[in-house]
Amino acid sequence: MVPVTCLFGGTFNPPHQGHIGAALHTLSELGFDRLGLMPCKIPPHKSTAGISEHHRVEMVKRVCEVDSRLYPELVELSLPEPSYTVKTLQAIRQQQADEPLCFFMGEDSWQSLTAWFEWPELLKLAHLVVMRRPAGHRSQTAAEPVLSSELTRLKQLHQVESPIQLTTRPSGQIYFTQSPLFDVSSTQLRQALATPDNDSSAINVDDWLSPAVIHYIREKRLYV
Choose the weakest-confidence range: 18-27, 47-56, 63-72.
47-56
Looking up residue 109, the CATH number of its domain turns out to be 3.40.50.620
pLDDT at residue 165 greater than cutoff 70? yes
Establish if 213 belongs to a structural domain. no
Establish if 91 belongs to a structural domain. yes
| Closest C-alpha to 6, from 83, 86, 92 | 92
Establish if 197 belongs to a structural domain. no
- Identify whether the C-beta of residue 40 lies closer than 8 Å to the C-beta of residue 85: no
C-alpha distance across the termini of the chain, in Å: 46
**Domain of 53, in residue numbers:** 5-183
pLDDT, position 137: 47
pLDDT, position 125: 98
Cα distance between residue 132 and residue 22, in whole Å: 10
Establish if 84 belongs to a structural domain. yes
pTM over 0.85: yes
Establish if 198 belongs to a structural domain. no
User: Can you state the angle between helices 53-65 and 211-220, rounded to 10 degrees?
Assistant: 150
User: Chain-wide mean pLDDT for the chain?
Assistant: 89
Establish if 128 belongs to a structural domain. yes
Higher pLDDT, 3 or 166: 166
Instruction: Count the domains in the chain.
Output: 1
- Identify whether the C-beta of residue 10 lies closer than 8 Å to the C-beta of residue 177: no
Q: What percent of the chain has pLDDT over 70?
A: 87
Cα distance between residue 83 and residue 176, in whole Å: 26
Establish if 211 belongs to a structural domain. no
Establish if 196 belongs to a structural domain. no
